[in-house]
Amino acid sequence: MDSYITTADVTAGGKWVNITSGWSFNATAGRNGGGALQFTGAQTVATKAGILAATEMCCAFWLKVSAIPAATTGIIVPVDVNGNPPASSTGIFQVAQTSGVLRQVASPSSTIFTGTTNVCDNQWHWVEVDIECALGNGATLICYVDGVQQWSTTTSNVQGLTIDRLNIGGAAGVTITYDDFMVWNNTAGGPVFSSLPLGPRQITTLRPNADVTQTFSRSSGSSNYSLVDEQTLDTADYVESGTSGDQDLYDFENFSVSPAGITDVGWNGTLVNPNPGTINFQSSLKSGGNTSLGTSTITPSAYQNKQVSYGTDPATSAAWLASAVNSVQAGIKVV
């Protein structure tokens, strides 16, 4: 959330999708003083379509709820490619009336798993939850709040659904604020739930601040990095290339914090192919002399944010150190 300036920035490029109006981006409401998503009623945004494509996923985030809502409300809802939730509301993650604790619905819908920590006290809470919509026996549902397990169960007859994205929203009569929202699925192998609990996390945005190589043409000026470092998407300045093998690399800002550990380094780019036909791109990340290229991907025909996860340092194949992230170079390659 620290990557944005205005509410319009949140949905620019399609990283987040507006479902209903009324929610906003608050530039100073975040857990660590930066920005956050705020809902003052039953409004909804969604994660990018197609980002999950799995039957199990986890999300972790900072949550602040100003007061206990008058009615139990689903704040995180898994949906399929058509925007439909699973039958019997399976997997819907709720804030409960009266108690202000978190709940998760299994199948049938009368099967409810209920937490013990009141999250509706206008204080920040670190929430981690596993949502599984795999048809049949053995679905795992887990939730932690501030490191305290709220429930952990294996249940049967969970309604089947391939989760395409998550609808995230608020509740009538209260203010719900989200920050540092992380989501991951189970397609990389191994059960998602074994990752929990991660413990509190912070997402830090680092932007290009110098050119390393300039092979892409630029719309103006003498530097390439300055055309791709904005917070508000500006389609009037850009770098471009239609030549296979061209690759821009940029230096980046250093951390403003000293993290005890790093879970992931995420490459973000907003791209478009304005011409007929297709052309592919790859993310490029260089660490310690080792360059790791992402999967060759078709460039979208309308501006769209693309993300690539680098879970380990290419130079060591081990977890990232802050010093390595501070020295990393990254950019884009035409395939």
Residue 287 inside a domain? The answer is: yes
Residue 1 inside a domain? The answer is: no
Residues 173 and 255 in one domain: no
Residues 155 and 300 in one domain: no
Residue 2 inside a domain? The answer is: no
Residues 91 and 191 in one domain: yes
Express each pLDDT in 251-262 by its tens digit: 999 998 889 999
Residues 147 and 223 in one domain: no
Range of the domain at 155: 7-195
| 112 bridge partner residues | 105
Query: Does the N-terminal peptide bond of residue 197 adopt cis geometry, omega within 30 degrees of 0?
Result: yes
**Residues in CB range of 179: below 8 A, 6 or more apart:** 1, 29, 30, 31, 32, 34, 35, 36, 37, 61, 62, 124
Residues 224 and 253 in one domain: yes
Express each pLDDT in 113-132 by its tens digit: 999 999 999 999 999 999 88
What's the domain count of the chain? Answer: 2
Residue 267 inside a domain? The answer is: yes
Q: Do 120 and 94 meet the contact criterion of CB atoms below 8 Å apart?
A: no
Residues 151 and 52 in one domain: yes
pLDDT given at position 107: 62
Residues 166 and 189 in one domain: yes
Where among 195, 228, 263 does a domain terminate? 195
Residues 189 and 225 in one domain: no
Residue 201 inside a domain? The answer is: no
Residue 18: in which H helix or E strand, if any?
A: strand 16-18
Q: Which amino acid is at 152?
A: S
Express each pLDDT in 64-88 by its tens digit: 999 999 999 999 999 999 988 877 6
Where among 139, 173, 195 does a domain terminate? 195
pLDDT given at position 153: 84
**What's the whole-model pTM score?**
0.93
Angle at CA 216, nearest 5°, toward 210 and 221? 60
Residue 264 inside a domain? The answer is: yes
Where among 162, 195, 228 does a domain terminate? 195
d(CA 140, CA 133): 9
Residues 47 and 162 in one domain: yes
Residue 323: in which H helix or E strand, if any?
A: helix 322-327
Residues 41 and 172 in one domain: yes
Residue 161 inside a domain? The answer is: yes
Collapsing DSSP to helix, strand or coil, 95 comes out as strand
Q: Do 119 and 145 meet the contact criterion of CB atoms below 8 Å apart?
A: yes
Residues 153 and 219 in one domain: no
CATH of residue 118's domain is 2.60.120.200
d(CA 15, CA 307): 9
Residues 15 and 107 in one domain: yes
| Bridge-based pairing state of the strands 247-252 and 290-293 | unpaired
Q: Using CA atoms in the order 240, 243, 244, 250, what is the torsion angle rounded to 10 degrees?
A: -40
Q: State whether the Cα torsion 3-8-13-14 is positive or negative.
A: positive
Residue 200 inside a domain? The answer is: no
Give, for all 335 residues of the chain, the pLDDT tens digit. Answer: 988 999 999 998 888 999 998 999 999 999 998 999 999 999 999 998 888 888 888 999 999 999 999 999 999 999 999 988 877 666 789 999 999 999 988 766 667 899 999 999 999 999 999 988 876 656 788 999 999 999 998 876 566 788 899 999 999 999 999 999 999 887 766 678 888 999 999 999 999 999 999 999 999 999 999 999 998 899 999 999 999 999 999 999 999 888 999 999 999 999 999 999 999 999 999 999 999 999 999 999 999 999 999 999 999 999 999 999 999 999 999 99
